[in-house]
Amino acid sequence: MKYTTDSELASKLVELVGEGKVADQEYILASYSMDVSPEPRRRPDVVVRPFSTEEVSKIVRFAFENSIPVVPTGGRTSMCGASIPQRGGILLDMTGMQKVIELNKEEMYVTVECGITWGHLISILKEEGFKLGFRGPYSGTAATVGGSISSNSIGYGSCRWGQAPAGLLGLTVVLPNGNIARTGSQALIYANPFNRYNMGPDLTGLFCGDHGTLGVKTEATLSIHLIPEHAEHLAYGFEDVEKACQFFCDVQKHEVAEDIVLIGETGSLEYIIEGFNDMFPGLNAVVIVIIEENCSGAARAKAELVAGLASKHGARSIGDLYAKIHWTFGMFEDIHPFFQLGMWTPECHNLPSHRIAEKILEFKKLYTKLRLREKGYQPVIAAMANNNNSVSFVAHVYYDVRSSESKRTALDFWEQGMERDLLEGGVPYWSGTSWLRHLRGKLDPGYVELYRAVKQA
């Protein structure tokens, strides 16, 4: 049977999963028509909030049998339109699934439902004396574990631990036909999910960065680590942006930091620390370095090495306040102040670290030439270290959403920026509708063919 009206669709879904989990009221559909990107709003036909893998399986199988599109979503903090339903259908709100299923202190893993937020999970683990490697994206109070795995997020801890999927040991996934699959060591029905690479191909990786196109992630197992007893919070200011970038790369190559962040537009810091530019006049870039160790001597030695590199590059210490805001009492709050500037035009992408200075200077030249600041657009430039060789590079402007002209100019600048990023070798780690329209014609044909074959299998 094909369901042709929204009310019929909603009624059938209620039969499948019960009352209180299905909605098709206009005001609810409108609230699910957007994420935090500037992408156009599009409404689903119905929203379902499942509470178990079995419920997700029922919904997906029903949708498969009736050719109804399904879009899974978590906290909807996506910056790329990935959780916006393009063809109506069923939107799966996975935030009903937020339990910690198992905390295994002997085998050092935690299994969670994929709708749990990073902030919630971190607080639970902290009470037990554990931490994650990757701590979540900058929107971690709302962003979910499943959403970040689905978008290959870069964020807190990526310098040492890598992107969101790096600490992943296994998944429970509902496939497009409604079947349930488990990956990693738990694929052996007698084993716990303590290891990712076993018994053939890494099928866990197949579902990382897929934005839910290959299956709906319902459970994830992540590595956990003991909370270190010692930390160093370092922050350095630079008059010369290129020297700041050289320092950033040097620290990153030495592999001593848990986290490294560069702010290449110090006007941005005024929105986080009021009066920053008055306190530290003449600075044009700031680099934050976080060190964590179980041994105080090791932490101090790493801090001394960083201090030596800072001196070599002409840095000036600006104390530990901003570093602590970033890493401890302000974690997940870094980006919130920027929204007083307006709406952003996000084009975050992976970039080799040695190219940060080149990209910063290019961006500054462009928005200076276009006189964007004088016209009321606020630039933000930053780089977040990813492992020892690359960064999530952020260079975008905020615009006044109340002005159609302001929006049009900013979005034109955004589209040109994404096109330029790709042609210059930058690689988006999430895609969604915003990057997808620029990726067409630029991907290896074999890659596209393989992706399609997997999707259609």
pLDDT digit string, tens, across residues 257-304:
999 999 988 777 777 677 888 899 999 999 999 999 999 999 999 999
Q: Which residues on neighbouring strands pair with residue 344, listed in sequence order? A: 398
pLDDT for res 1: 45
The pairing of beta strand 90-93 with beta strand 46-48: parallel
Number of neighbouring beta carbons within 10 Å of residue 110? 25
Q: How big is the chain by its Cα radius of gyration, in Å?
A: 23
User: 94 near 116, Cβ under 8 Å?
Assistant: no
Which residues, including other chains, have CB under 8 Å from residue 374's CB and lie 6 or more apart?
Answer: none
| Domain 6-95 and domain 97-226 have a common topology | no
| CATH topology assigned to domain 230-437 | Vanillyl-alcohol Oxidase; Chain A, domain 3 (3.40.462)
3-state helix, strand, coil in the chain (%, to 5): 40, 20, 40
pLDDT for res 143: 92
User: 229 near 147, Cβ under 8 Å?
Assistant: no
**What CA–CA distance (Å, rounded) separates 214 from 453?**
11
Q: For residue 373, is pLDDT > 90?
A: no
Distance from chain centroid for Cα 427? 14
pLDDT for res 2: 54
pLDDT for res 328: 85
Of 123, 163, 118, the closest CA to residue 143 belongs to 118
Distance from chain centroid for Cα 167? 14
* pLDDT tens track for 153-172: 999 999 999 999 999 999 99
> What is the average pLDDT value for the chain, to the nearest integer?
93
Residue ranges of the domains in the chain?
6-95, 97-226, 230-437
**What CA–CA distance (Å, rounded) separates 132 from 224?**
5
* pLDDT tens track for 219-231: 999 999 999 999 9
Amino acid at 343: M
User: 277 near 267, Cβ under 8 Å?
Assistant: yes
pLDDT for res 335: 74
Question: What share of the chain in percent tops pLDDT 90?
Answer: 79
**What CA–CA distance (Å, rounded) separates 431 from 40?**
16
pLDDT for res 232: 97
User: 138 near 332, Cβ under 8 Å?
Assistant: yes
Query: At which residue do the structure tokens 């439902």 appear?
Result: 113
User: Looking at residues 327-344, what average pLDDT do you find?
Assistant: 78
User: 357 near 313, Cβ under 8 Å?
Assistant: no
pLDDT tier for residue 5 given thresholds of 50, 70 and 90: low
DSSP classification of residue 270: G
pLDDT for res 3: 52
User: 180 near 193, Cβ under 8 Å?
Assistant: no
* pLDDT tens track for 91-147: 999 999 999 999 999 999 999 999 999 999 999 999 999 999 999 998 878 899 999
429 token code pair: 């780690």
* pLDDT tens track for 20-66: 999 999 999 999 999 888 888 999 999 999 999 999 999 999 999 99
> By mean pLDDT, which of 26-30, 79-83, 283-287, 421-425 is the weakest?
79-83
User: Looking at residues 334-341, what average pLDDT do you find?
Assistant: 76
Q: Spell out where 57-179 has E strands.
A: 70-73, 90-93, 100-104, 109-113, 130-131, 168-174
Angle at 280 between CA 279 and CA 283, to 5 degrees: 155
Which residues, including other chains, have CB under 8 Å from residue 129's CB and lie 6 or more apart?
Answer: 226, 227
The pairing of beta strand 378-386 with beta strand 390-399: antiparallel
Of 259, 213, 258, the closest CA to residue 432 belongs to 213
Amino acid at 358: E
3-state SS, residue 48: strand
CATH number, span 97-226: 3.30.465.10
436 token code pair: 């997808």
Which residues, including other chains, have CB under 8 Å from residue 295's CB and lie 6 or more apart?
Answer: 230
CA distances from 425 to 163, 366, 422 (A): 19, 18, 5
> By mean pLDDT, which of 36-40, 182-186, 447-451 is the weakest?
36-40
CATH entry 3.30.43.10 includes domain 6-95:
yes
Of 343, 357, 344, 349, the closest CA to residue 420 belongs to 349
